[in-house]
Amino acid sequence: MSDAYFDDENYGDEFESSSKPARVNLGIWKQLLAYATYYRTDVICLACCAFVVAICEIAFPLITRSVIDDISEKGFVIDLLRYAGIYAGFCLALALAVTGFLWFGGKLRSHISHDIRRDGFENLQNLSFSYYDYRPVGWLMARMTSDCERLSDILAWGVLDFVWSITIMTGIAGAMLFMEPVLALVVLTTLPLLVWISLFFQSRILKSARQVRKTNSRITGSYNENIMGVATSKTFVTEAQNLQHFGNLTDQMYESSVQNAIQAALYLPMVMTLGSLASGIALVIGGVELGWGVISVGTLIAFLTYSRQFFEPIEQMAHWFAEMQMAQASAERIMSLIAAKSDIEDSPEVKARLQNQTSQTLAEDGLSNNINQIEFRQVDFSYAVGGPVLQGINLTINKGETIAIVGSTGSGKTSLISLLCRFYEPTTGKILLDGVDYRDRGLNFLQSNLGIVLQSSHVFAGTVEDNIQYGNLHANHDQIVNAAKQAGAHYFIKDMPDGYTTQIGESGSSLSAGQKQLISFARAILADPKILIMDEATSSVDTLTEQHVQTGLKALLQGRISVVIAHRLSTIRNATRILVVEQGRIIEEGNHEQLMEAEGRYHRLYRQQRLSSLWES
């Protein structure tokens, strides 16, 4: 699913009680602002640039005023060159400041989004799987991409516009009050009206823009579904149905986009008219005062210019304020992602040992470097939501043993393995490595000794070689080829256009499911793990290839602790022990012969598979 689908517009409803814009919670923004203030010098430079820009913009009408006053009052300008010089000076200052604020602002913005993303990513690497269980990849992607960009926009450009707006508004107000207080006050009376109109429209414009974005991500999602499911649509002949459904979305898109454009088209003329009202007032009163000789013609002209200039910042401020309101949810979600704590991490004692470990022979956590035995002792387990998944599991696996787990879907096989890998921890009971509770060992120690082939093999974008090498980053080409041979992957890799350097596309889309599995086999073999785990790893390889793999794996399994989940009994028949798991409990345990003699569940499964049982039926 595309990440656009998980734009907060689609997910917002889960976190906000209603569609009303959330009230701006300054606490969150303060935390976020720390990302900006980390670059204190740049923030100060940026603010200075914004300040200079505003000052220059205020200065130009004043220069014009002086020139015109000189002309109209004295009939000549004492020193036109001096004015030209001053003007050129301000020009240069403004040009430099504009360049400066784009440089510093651009730098600040890029760094802020970089830093937020970095912190988010690093935390994601350490969060336990329970965090991922309820957050789809697309959702996380949207937080890490569009949300980051949006927030850093607010933090960098918002700050810039804030300084600029405040400076220019106080500057202009100050200049007007200084030149002619009464006239200034009259012009400023239009201010509240403008603020109100701006806030009113900006929040509506943003709201409909939000609706547009929401519909847009649905459209993206719909394209995605239609393309991914094109074979299904064709075979079920649902093309017309798809188009009709999609047509509803594009109609909705049309409507909200036009609504958004209309709101913007209404807002602009309103502001323009208000602006002309202000300069109209300036003209009438200023003109009368000019007639009385209270003000000069230059002042009047300056007023006319200022009365228009004064309103620009309000548009900007209203925009950012509305944007902050809308981005409130994004800010909260990003901060919660960065602050999320992993359920599974090294205990303080383990951390202390990790720091003090110096021995060459011991593991990084200061204990034995070997794993000769894994023991489950009275292990119960349940996920955050739902009932118990595993109950009363007692199990001991020794080095050199291969354990096969058998059971129907949802019986708890995968959870058992996740516990072993410490992707989750037991709810009650213990898992011991050579007699030590694994919670007293370093997380990295256990996991760096694991080799896992998962149910759905994931292949990264890159070359075939890169993918296998992921198992051991220091492996050379020969070792990689060797691993591939053992996994039975070599024969198809060498037939690929560029052999081991063939690029495999987005999520390895050019490989069949079976081929992806063989590559992840090779990856696990290359890792040379103390503990090897396979989850239904052979389910989509055809019989011959599977036999191929098994021959190689037989050698590999030797001397390790191996745990295999597979539906096909032929692949697990040569296991040291077979566990039959049903409804979260181990109901049968023993080797093939023992279980066959027991004539229980395993016996029944096996009979079904056996050829001889056919003739009986």
Single-letter amino acid, residue 562 = S
Residue pair 147/442 in contact (Cβ under 8 Å)? The answer is no
| Coil vs helix vs strand at 589 | strand
Among residues 145 and 576, whose Cβ is nearest to other proteins? 145
- Per CB under 8 A, which of residues 316..375 are in contact with other proteins? none
Among residues 21 and 223, whose Cβ is nearest to other proteins? 223
Binding track, positions 392-421, relative to other proteins; x by CB under 8 A: ----------------xxx----------x
Going by the DSSP 8-state scheme, the letter that residue 136 receives in this structure is: -
- Smallest gap from Cβ 364 to other proteins, in A, equals 11
Among residues 18 and 227, whose Cβ is nearest to other proteins? 227
| Coil vs helix vs strand at 584 | coil
Distance CA 371, CA 242 (A): 55
Residue pair 277/264 in contact (Cβ under 8 Å)? The answer is no
- Smallest gap from Cβ 23 to other proteins, in A, equals 27
Binding track, positions 439-458, relative to other proteins; x by CB under 8 A: -----x--xx-xxx-xxx-x
Among residues 325 and 442, whose Cβ is nearest to other proteins? 442
Nearest alpha-carbon partner for 335 in 38, 614, 606, 26: 26
- Smallest gap from Cβ 590 to other proteins, in A, equals 17
Token pair in block for residue 155: 């933090």
Q: Does 530 bind other proteins (CB under 8 A)?
A: no
Distance CA 143, CA 132 (A): 14
- Smallest gap from Cβ 321 to other proteins, in A, equals 23
Distance CA 296, CA 72 (A): 9
Among 83, 364, 388, 463, binds other proteins (CB under 8 A): 83
Please provide the DSSP assignment of 516-568 as one string.
Answer: HHHHHHHHHHHH--SEEEEESTTTTS-HHHHHHHHHHHHHHHTTSEEEEE-S-
- Smallest gap from Cβ 337 to other proteins, in A, equals 12
Distance CA 368, CA 405 (A): 28
Where b means 16+ CB within 10 Å and e means fewer, 553-570 reads beebbeebbbbbbbeebe
- Smallest gap from Cβ 286 to other proteins, in A, equals 8
Among residues 127 and 177, whose Cβ is nearest to other proteins? 127
Q: Does 478 bind other proteins (CB under 8 A)?
A: no
Among 16, 21, 107, 373, binds other proteins (CB under 8 A): 107
Nearest alpha-carbon partner for 158 in 30, 332, 317: 317
Q: Does 234 bind other proteins (CB under 8 A)?
A: yes
Q: How many residues does the chain have?
A: 617
Binding track, positions 37-76, relative to other proteins; x by CB under 8 A: -----------------------x--xx--xx-xxx--xx
- Per CB under 8 A, which of residues 261..300 are in contact with other proteins? 261-262, 264-266, 268-270, 272-273, 275-277, 279-281, 283-284, 287-288, 290-292, 297, 300
Scanning 200-208, 478-486, 496-504, 508-516 for contacts with other proteins by CB under 8 A, the matching segment is 508-516
Among residues 183 and 325, whose Cβ is nearest to other proteins? 183
Among 22, 32, 43, 94, binds other proteins (CB under 8 A): 94
Using only the alpha carbons of the chain, give its radius of gyration. 35
